Structure 1
Amino acid sequence: MKAVTKCAAILATLFATPALSCPDGSITLVSCTLKEGAKYLETCLMGDHATYAFGTAERRPDLALARHVDEVEMTPWPGVGREIWEDFTFHNGETSYRVHYSIDRFSEPGDGLSGGVTVLKGQEPLAQLECDPGSVDAGYPLPLWDAKEAGSLSR
């Protein structure tokens, strides 16, 4: 019951927060604008919960999810290749939202960062949205991996 209450409090905070600003005390995972600034994607880490928000610019999110970090799937960068990348997935019933980012290791500082979200129903892709160039806020390593590791150690 305590986890449900905590998720409800996090969602209430998300819905009250303007676009592209993680609530105070949280850490940005991957955030950006999409569709030339018309939409936004924002993912945050708040203690042992990760949040996902997607919506129209300058409005409360159309969709907001809060999940314990153990419920968020993550693929960490395997340590090889030109691109440093990670992705993580929020599930909402049969629909899932796979958020990704990548950094070109050989690009100039401030360049080479990209991201986006893939919406899936089961294994069927419903939408693939890429972040607007220059709008991505993310970086390696995402603190989500450390939060997941800390959660598994405390059990």
Structure 2
Amino acid sequence: MRLFLCSFLFVVSVLPAVACPVGSETLVSCSLKNGSRMLTTCLQGDQVSYAFGRSGAAPDLTLQRNVRDVHMVPWPGIGRSIWEEFTFENEGTYYTVYYSLEKDPDVEQPWSGGVIVEQGGRELAHLHCDSGSVNSSGYALPLFEAKERAGQVYSLETGSWQ
């Protein structure tokens, strides 16, 4: 298992920020800033990865966490769009990745997404995915089921995982 994790970390850290490693599932990925940046999040087993960086280059930032250590807010089942978000913490900086799918069939670009970067309760950046570039496994993200397999239960009342 340790060899597998080391191999997975190596593969994630050297891939350009465009695609998930073979055998993993894309959670949310997209281009940002008119294609000059890429955001990729993946799930492989009980590991969630985040990669952000220049298009066609090694990522500027890669994070990997156990599913239990990634906070997720699942869609509550109401509203004009289906959405979910999940957050990686790294040394006091929080990276919240989100996607949304508009339920209105007449919307030209039903998918949207992005990443919000916060530190100390202050928003440092909010980058929106380029129109038409969102790639997502869609509702429900496989992250929800992975968290449940890890023994966590989501409470709508408290908005937290137990």
TM-score, normalised via structure 1 length? 0.91
Counterpart position of 1:35: 33
In structure 2, the CA distance between the partners of 1:58 and 1:106, relative to structure 1 (3 Å rule), is same
Q: What is the distance in 1 between the residues matched to 2:74 and 2:147?
A: 11
Q: Is the 8 A contact 1:11 1:65 kept in 2?
A: no
C-alpha deviation, 1:10, in angstroms: 2.6
C-alpha deviation, 1:109, in angstroms: 8.7
Q: What is the distance in 2 between the residues matched to 1:121 and 1:44?
A: 23
33-42 or 105-114: which moved more?
105-114
Counterpart position of 1:92: 90
Q: Is the 8 A contact 1:7 1:66 kept in 2?
A: no
In structure 2, the CA distance between the partners of 1:135 and 1:65, relative to structure 1 (3 Å rule), is same
Alignment match of 1:120 (pick from 97, 118, 121): 118
C-alpha deviation, 1:7, in angstroms: 4.8
Counterpart position of 2:9: 11
- Across the aligned residues of Structure 1 and Structure 2, the Cα RMSD in angstroms comes to 1.7
User: What letter is aligned with 1:65?
Assistant: L
C-alpha deviation, 1:122, in angstroms: 2.5
User: What letter is aligned with 1:50?
Assistant: V
Counterpart position of 2:144: 145
- Give deviations 1:97-119, integer Å, cap 9, x for gaps: 00000000113598310000000
Aligned residue for 2:151, secondary structure, equals helix
List gaps (5 residues or longer) in structure 1: none
Aligned residue for 1:152, secondary structure, equals coil
Q: What is the distance in 1 between the residues matched to 2:100 and 2:22?
A: 26
Q: Is the 8 A contact 1:11 1:64 kept in 2?
A: no
- Give deviations 1:37-60, integer Å, cap 9, x for gaps: 000000000110000000000001
Aligned residue for 2:146, secondary structure, equals helix
Counterpart position of 2:130: 132
Counterpart position of 1:50: 48
User: What letter is aligned with 2:33?
Assistant: K
Aligned residue for 1:96, secondary structure, equals strand
Q: What is the distance in 1 between the residues matched to 2:4 and 2:151?
A: 19
- Give deviations 1:11-34, integer Å, cap 9, x for gaps: 211122233110000000000000
What does residue range 55-66 of structure 1 map to in structure 2 within 5 Å? Answer: 55-66=53-64
Aligned residue for 1:32, secondary structure, equals strand
14-23 or 92-101: which moved more?
14-23
Question: Identity across aligned pairs (percent)?
Answer: 48
Aligned residue for 1:70, secondary structure, equals helix
Counterpart position of 1:70: 68
C-alpha deviation, 1:8, in angstroms: 4.0
User: What letter is aligned with 1:72?
Assistant: V
Equivalences, count: 151
13-22 or 130-139: which moved more?
13-22
